[in-house]
Structure 1
């Protein structure tokens, strides 16, 4: 992303522009070096490949049995039941049993509930309830042409081998455009940064556009504040923090990078700004995000430290990268064994890097910045270290946390029952000299977390919300 220059960090305005928006085309390959050009060639390719369970039809992030840990179905069902209980009693779990919740996030959120859990963990659910109608209002506006043009040119670059985004102008790209455009209207002073697109795309794979918008807002404002602002000062500060922590975790890797004057911004920018969504195998991305949205940015630091330690942490490994160029190439092609789900998660959990360590180094980095470069231009919001800190900073009401029904079913049996109840009520009120002023609603609401009795002859007559294929896993 940034040009390599000996002895310096970011290549000033030129490198920053590459992250704030680009018009360069992305080369699509099939994993064997074959380049795809036109949409028709890509469509032929996708029709010949089988879609994996996460929606990928090719590319490096396609699912493989070797990179994942298989969970027995009965264990998965038990975890789903536990997560449903947590979601129904979210405030109590956050207040009294947060450690247990953190352990469950570390084990991995069940795929069927991941989208809903992410929305609760990030605080996006509360934001959505407190700002009802906000997304629709932003969605209806035209948007700043300066950002709209760049967003449109970036759409096809986000997970081009995922079935949701493979078609130009398809529903996935349309929703991605809506979410990114809405954010530029929500934060006009920040605008659009190219690294926001993969973050929004990951969220859209698990939830509808409105929920993805509020998830993006929370990640940009609470988890990674300042990352996507002009100047990229926040990511440069975190690069210094990463480098300082690396000295403690792997002195050998730290000495090597320092010797060759490889500034952290050169290798960690995409890692951090995209929350590893474009770096790791998909099963590992999901596990990292489960922990990241629960525990905060320390998880992102830990992943970066693990990869640096594994790739540069021994003399044998350093023999193959004697210079700056060779080191950068090595960090661009990380050994797959270090990115596999089981290995990576174990290493992340064992690494002793806490919120306190990060905040301590953050204060030191800011002090050094002011001494050498002057005042920071971007005054970002304070960083929140995970779900508990976000909830404590803005305590929600019970209404904000209540799970709303996903589908509203008009049941013939419910209608008949409601009609009989209404008739009895009217008769009773007439006897008492009262009039029935408001009709009884006939819709039977199905809460996603509560099983409802099956209605033998009840047909699904209508729904107040359309569901895409991805949303079925999330909400039903």
Structure 2
């Protein structure tokens, strides 16, 4: 029998445990076995980045794969999202359907990071555990996990400007977030598939916020996915296969005939939330809906891809066996992954939270009958932002938006210094003591547009900007 190669770099079910603490199963190569991500900075100056920060690779922005939104429409959406963020508890309680619709339309890029943090409940967690990330960040970490994390850093989005330079600020922040999580959940440790999740978050928010976003995804959206044994992902594979029978009986029969275990083709899809599979514009739209509505969006994406690739007799003519089928699923037709087509198919697919929970109970029952008790007792899965907020109701203080951008202008500093000198001279003449000056800073509320500061490059910085200093792209 032909050897079944892993889909997108993932190994077979026999070696699925290797996802934990390995540096091979999610590696990226250039087709000749050479790993990317080490010396790409050599030629980054010769390559132009796209609007998402990619300098090349399959996920680089393409006009053909994206829907162009008129600027005036985008400005209107930004104003609506600012209103939602300023009144989050009211929107979640009374107008959640409208919020869900706006997530389906796509969150404005300037507000995506903040919206993701609110949707996931990461904002509330951060407020309720102030200083926790700094405490974890200051600790050395378990050498067992630290070593593996360090060797994995250059494999995450090696064509993105944040992560292209070995030892650059993006890789440093990724290391900090992943190390902090192993200290936060020492019983769980580090799973390689967490790195792409953390990297996507870091592209949109500071390290502290990305940490709490990762915590929420691992504990609320995909509980048990990154635990030893990968039992949760195997259960969800069975759920996906059962739902496929209803969505595309032809694809279901084909996979069953060739005895293709779901773990072979859906592991990376689900564990990385499609961040390593889809074009980047599609990744962002999927995550907008995923963080709002929960894991059902991930199931729908998987079902759409399987249906499109294996749902007709014409397509099945080219894959007569296991190997051919796996090769087909490794190279999904780009037209099925384009933003417009994929989002429409996701929204039209009738798969609900109730369907998933019903199949989950059935899968757990079958597991116990054939394999015994589950070893990993994961937390209950929360189906989206509303369920997370209902389970842990936040206070108004937790949701309050503090000033998020503190900018000290060089001109203001110089002017203030001159004023201070004149004031000190005057006070000395009058016999008064010199009092401590008040720092000059411009506090900008999130709802206010931030001025563009020119000629103020951040030189020689190797630390991330904290969440009180920086708000993504606004």
TM-score normalised by the chain length of structure 2: 0.87
Q: Deviations over 1:59-93 (max 9, x none)?
A: 10000000000000010000000000000000000
C-alpha contact (below 8 Å) 1:418/1:440 kept by paired residues: no
In 1, the alpha carbon distance for the partners of 2:106 and 2:187 equals: 36
C-alpha contact (below 8 Å) 1:193/1:229 kept by paired residues: yes
CA gap 1:428/1:153 in 2 versus in 1, 3 angstroms: closer
In 2, the alpha carbon distance for the partners of 1:280 and 1:291 equals: 15
- 1:63 corresponding residue in structure 2: 61
3-state DSSP of counterpart to 2:469: helix
Moved more, 26-35 or 248-257: 26-35
Shift of 1:144: 0.4
2:152 is the counterpart of 1:154:
yes
In 1, the alpha carbon distance for the partners of 2:200 and 2:468 equals: 11
Shift of 1:49: 1.8
3-state DSSP of counterpart to 1:287: helix
Shift of 1:162: 0.3
Moved more, 412-421 or 83-92: 412-421
C-alpha contact (below 8 Å) 2:54/2:60 kept by paired residues: yes
C-alpha contact (below 8 Å) 2:206/2:464 kept by paired residues: no
Q: Deviations over 1:250-277 (max 9, x none)?
A: 0000000000000100000000000000
3-state DSSP of counterpart to 1:218: helix
CA gap 1:342/1:190 in 2 versus in 1, 3 angstroms: same
Q: Deviations over 1:144-195 (max 9, x none)?
A: 0000011011000000000000000000000000000000000000000000
Shift of 1:463: 14
In 1, the alpha carbon distance for the partners of 2:427 and 2:196 equals: 59
C-alpha contact (below 8 Å) 1:3/1:266 kept by paired residues: no
Moved more, 212-221 or 434-443: 434-443
Shift of 1:22: 1.9
CA gap 1:56/1:416 in 2 versus in 1, 3 angstroms: closer
- 2:4 corresponding residue in structure 1: 4
CA gap 1:333/1:401 in 2 versus in 1, 3 angstroms: same
3-state DSSP of counterpart to 1:28: coil
C-alpha contact (below 8 Å) 2:309/2:315 kept by paired residues: yes
Moved more, 428-437 or 136-145: 428-437
C-alpha contact (below 8 Å) 2:17/2:230 kept by paired residues: no
Q: Deviations over 1:197-232 (max 9, x none)?
A: 000000000000000000000000000000000000
In 1, the alpha carbon distance for the partners of 2:286 and 2:84 equals: 20
Shift of 1:127: 0.1
CA gap 1:335/1:169 in 2 versus in 1, 3 angstroms: same
- 1:273 corresponding residue in structure 2: 271
Moved more, 459-468 or 244-253: 459-468
Shift of 1:318: 0.2
Q: Deviations over 1:114-169 (max 9, x none)?
A: 00000000000000000000000000000000000110110000000000000000
CA gap 1:284/1:222 in 2 versus in 1, 3 angstroms: same
CA gap 1:91/1:426 in 2 versus in 1, 3 angstroms: farther
Q: Counterparts in 2 of 1:265-344, with a 5 A limit?
A: 265-344=263-342
In 1, the alpha carbon distance for the partners of 2:136 and 2:346 equals: 38
In 2, the alpha carbon distance for the partners of 1:363 and 1:337 equals: 35
Shift of 1:406: 1.5
C-alpha contact (below 8 Å) 1:410/1:460 kept by paired residues: no
C-alpha contact (below 8 Å) 2:103/2:288 kept by paired residues: yes
Q: Deviations over 1:87-126 (max 9, x none)?
A: 0000000000000000000000000000000000000000
3-state DSSP of counterpart to 2:472: helix
C-alpha contact (below 8 Å) 1:2/1:10 kept by paired residues: no
C-alpha contact (below 8 Å) 2:224/2:231 kept by paired residues: yes
In 1, the alpha carbon distance for the partners of 2:11 and 2:451 equals: 63
C-alpha contact (below 8 Å) 1:406/1:446 kept by paired residues: yes
RMSD over aligned Cα, in angstroms? 5.2
- 2:139 corresponding residue in structure 1: 141
Which sections of structure 2, spanning at least 5 residues, go unmatched? Answer: none
3-state DSSP of counterpart to 2:468: helix
TM-score normalised by the chain length of structure 1: 0.87
In 2, the alpha carbon distance for the partners of 1:373 and 1:344 equals: 36
CA gap 1:76/1:465 in 2 versus in 1, 3 angstroms: farther
Which sections of structure 1, spanning at least 5 residues, go unmatched? Answer: none
C-alpha contact (below 8 Å) 1:294/1:386 kept by paired residues: yes
Shift of 1:446: 1.8
In 1, the alpha carbon distance for the partners of 2:134 and 2:53 equals: 28
